[in-house]
Chains A and B, each alone.
Chain A
Amino acid sequence: MMAPDDRNMDATLAALLAPPEGPGDRGFAAGVERAIAAQAAYARARRRFWRSFAFEALAVAALLAALWLLSSTPLLAPLAGTAHWGLAPPLLLILLLWFGTQRWRQT
């Protein structure tokens, strides 16, 4: 048997390497659809996480600012005695901020 000459070589390669004929694979297409849905769900979860993180960072920043302001108020100086009353206003503020941001996120 002779080796295929140049003329036949291209046809041989084309026959060997041709993609399979047939209708589109609906199972594969469904798999792609599921993968896209999973990616979208992941992206949503990631966005939710960053939004939540941003809100909490904001709340902490507000809390720190409030703490700093309160600690520099002369009116509260007598409260900051041994009973640690000085911590009460900022702690109340933490709770208020927390509830406030939680409600904002839910809406």
Chain B
Amino acid sequence: MPRLPRNAPLRDEASADEDWALSQRVAGGDRAAFQLLVLRHEGRLRAFLSRAAGCDADDLAQETFVRAWQRAGEYRGQGSYAAWVMGIGWRLFLDQRRTARRREGLAAGEEVTTATDPRPASDAAIDADRLLAALAPQERAALTLCFGHGWSHGEAAAIMGVPLGTLKSLVLRARAKAQKMIGEGADR
């Protein structure tokens, strides 16, 4: 079996056609085709979910693919397959977070990770994890999708299921926070 590029360019026409062909086979119950789709998209999905969740999210990614398999017939080629899977993953993440917060009895509107490590990142220690720890999950997801994964604002809004204006606000706010943190780290 040939080695598949983990992060093939999403907008590559041939890649999108291949995804569509594979997804058609998957809708017909072809498990081998689904394995190929998993191999093509797991890297991006796991990276996105771990950034959004702020921790290892392999279980969430696995659950996402199981849902994608179960709902294979619902994908009709509207947008890319990667965006469709990411959307499933994002909604699962929100569901799990809601359930966890309800269970823990946390106050509504209070972000779980906002309180983690409020120190500005030092120049030497600036990394994605520390940078994202200062952001709300929605901001982390918006920043990761638009800057890290290269999705357009419209595509990112569709993945996250928010209006375009909201997505742009999230990106602007997250970017400003990130810039401030990196700036503070650099000035030290």
Contact = CB atoms under 8 A, between A and B. Distances in A.
A28 B61 contact: yes
Nearest to B140: A17
B38 A32 contact: yes
A29 B42 contact: yes
B66 A4 contact: no
Contacts of B178: 9, 13
A70 to B, nearest CB: 48
Main SS class of interface, B? helix
B51 A20 contact: no
Contact of A9 (B3, B5, B175, B187): B175
Interface residues of B, number: 46
Interface residues of A, number: 29
Given A17-B144, A39-B66, A23 B4 contact: yes
Nearest to A22: B6
A3 B186 contact: yes
Contacts of A18: 148-149
B147 A17 contact: yes
A2 interface: yes
Nearest to B3: A23
What are the nearest 8 A-B pairs in CB distance?
Answer: A17-B148, A24-B39, A3-B183, A19-B47, A13-B147, A32-B65, A29-B38, A16-B128
Interface of B: 3-7, 31, 34-35, 38-40, 42-44, 46-48, 51, 58, 61-63, 65-66, 69-70, 123, 126-128, 131-132, 143-144, 147-150, 175, 178-179, 182-184, 186-187
9 contacts: A3-B183, A4-B186, A10-B147, A25-B39, A28-B42, A29-B38, A31-B58, A32-B42, A35-B62
Given A3-B183, A10-B147, A18-B149, 5 more contacts: A1-B187, A13-B148, A20-B6, A21-B43, A29-B39
